[in-house]
Amino acid sequence: MAGSQGQTAKVILKSEDGISFLVDYEAVKKSKTLEKIMNEIGIAPNVMKTVNVPNVPADILRKIIQYIEHYKDVNESDDEDPEEICLISNWDKAFLKVDETTLFRLLTCAHYMEIKGLIRATSKTVAQMIMNKTPDQIRERFGIENDIVEEVQAENDHVENVQAENDHVENVQAENDHVENVQAENDHVENVQAENDHVENVQAENGHVENVQAEKGHVEEAQADNGHVEDVQAEKGHVEDVQAEKGHVEDVQAEKDHVEEVQAEKGHVENDDKKEEVSEL
């Protein structure tokens, strides 16, 4: 039997190969599996009994006892702090500086014994060992034989080829979508250009209308000027008519004067005739 018998709160753990270890009662409770067994067989802190630990050899059980004795007074929560999920304590790093075979045996036995802290520590250590490595590198690191048959490997290769083809199709589709977007943008630009051309045509038409209106105003002004000229010409015609009338009056007056002269001459002749008649008498 390894260790010495204490006064109370001790439990004897016996490995699968028959080696016994005297362990603190509170430390044993770090294993949920052993805690259940102790409850089933009625082990209390003041009653020391032997608990068999099947599937765990003495060399691994000794390491596990070292771990649970160290953490017996530490309360472990079910949920780990996300900021510490990839961290390993310095004590755990030193504790797990073992060969890979021992590491995996510790991991397996920790799962069997349900020791949360040890499961986390061994899992993180293994995760760091395989980080950024390919499946082939992992197999080579841990001496794992590739038991995938050729048909399965061929199927996997086929799946990868199909996936690559799908990726290519998606890339082509994305390129087509890009082309369609560019075409739609070009169509929009053409529509905007057509709208601008239409606006320019409307503006040109408006300019033409303004020119026509200006020309119309010019024509109206010219027509007004022509009306004024016609009025002047009419006035001139009236003046000419007046002048003609005046000439006619002057002609009549001259004719009248001539008649009067003739009449005067006639009167003079008649007077002369009367004088001659008187003389003859």
Instruction: Report whether pLDDT(5) > 60.
Output: no
Mean pLDDT calculated for residue range 18-43: 92
pLDDT (0 to 100) of residue 85: 64
Across all residues in the chain, what is the average pLDDT?
84
Q: Kindly list the structural domains of the chain, giving each domain's residue range(s) and its CATH number in brackets, ordered by start.
A: 10-147 (3.30.710.10)
Over pLDDT 90: what percentage of the chain?
35
Hunting for tokens 């510790």 — which residue is that?
A: 106
Q: Whole-angstrom Cα distance, residue 50 to residue 3?
A: 14
Go through 118-149 and write b for each residue having 16 or more CB atoms within 10 A of its CB, e for each that does not. Answer: bbbbbebbbeeeeeeeeeeeeeeeeeeeeeee
Give the mean pLDDT of 197-221: 84
Q: Which residues pair with 20 in a beta bridge?
A: 14
Mean predicted confidence (pLDDT) in 242-258: 84
DSSP label at 82?
A: G
Angstrom distances, CA of residue 182 to CA of 172, 194, 276: 15, 18, 138
- Averaging pLDDT over each range in 87-101, 131-145, 158-172, which range is the top one? 87-101
Higher-confidence residue of 195 and 85: namely: 195
Judged against a pLDDT cut of 70, whether residue 3 lies above it is answered with no
Return the pLDDT at 121.
95
pLDDT at 226 over 80: no
pLDDT-wise least confident of 22-31, 47-56, 219-228 = 219-228
pTM recorded for the entire structure: 0.48
CB atoms within 10 A of CB 102: 14
| pLDDT mean over 181-202 | 88
Name the more confident of 272 and 264.
264
Q: What is the mean pLDDT of residues 171-180?
A: 89
